[in-house]
């Protein structure tokens, strides 16, 4: 068993809270290889985070056609509110129950 340095996050498994925070970097291909592998291992075993990933992927695809100047202030405010709250946990998907 390897010893980890205090504060080291490089070798521990990814949890739901961290996975939610890493989704956009994961989709952008911006995660280092080790963290990407741990993210994929988490997604393979967590239905809630897998659903969240697919919802974000679908949203990015759907909104990809919008240009920055095509989003009204009201829509932008609603998006900011929607994405400023706590992310979904393992049992709550984005938009669930709303």
* pLDDT tops 50 at residue 92: no
Nearest-5° angle of CA 77, CA 16, CA 89?
Answer: 55
- Residue-wise pLDDT for 18-72, tens only, equals 999 999 899 999 999 999 999 999 999 999 999 999 998 888 887 776 666 667 7
Higher pLDDT, 41 or 98: 41
Report how far residue 66's alpha carbon sits from residue 40's, in angstroms, rounded to the nearest whole number: 29
Q: What is the pTM of this model?
A: 0.59
- Residue carrying structure tokens 């990933």: 53
Report how far residue 80's alpha carbon sits from residue 50's, in angstroms, rounded to the nearest whole number: 23
Q: What is the CATH number of domain 16-84?
A: 1.10.10
- Cα 24 → chain centroid: 5
pLDDT of residue 62: 78
Provide the CB-side half-sphere exposure for 72 (13 A, CA).
Answer: 3
pLDDT of residue 1: 31
């Amino acid at each position: 068993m390897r010893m980890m340095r205090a504060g080291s996050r490089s070798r521990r498994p990814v949890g739901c809270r961290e996975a939610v925070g890493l989704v956009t970097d994961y989709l952008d291909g911006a995660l280092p290889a080790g963290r990407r592998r741990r993210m994929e291992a988490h997604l393979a075993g967590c239905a809630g985070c897998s659903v969240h990933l697919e919802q974000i992927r679908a949203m990015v695809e759907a909104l990809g056609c919008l240009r920055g100047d095509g989003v009204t202030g009201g829509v932008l405010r609603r998006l900011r509110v929607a994405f400023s709250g706590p992310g979904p946990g393992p049992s709550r998907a984005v938009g669930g129950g709303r």
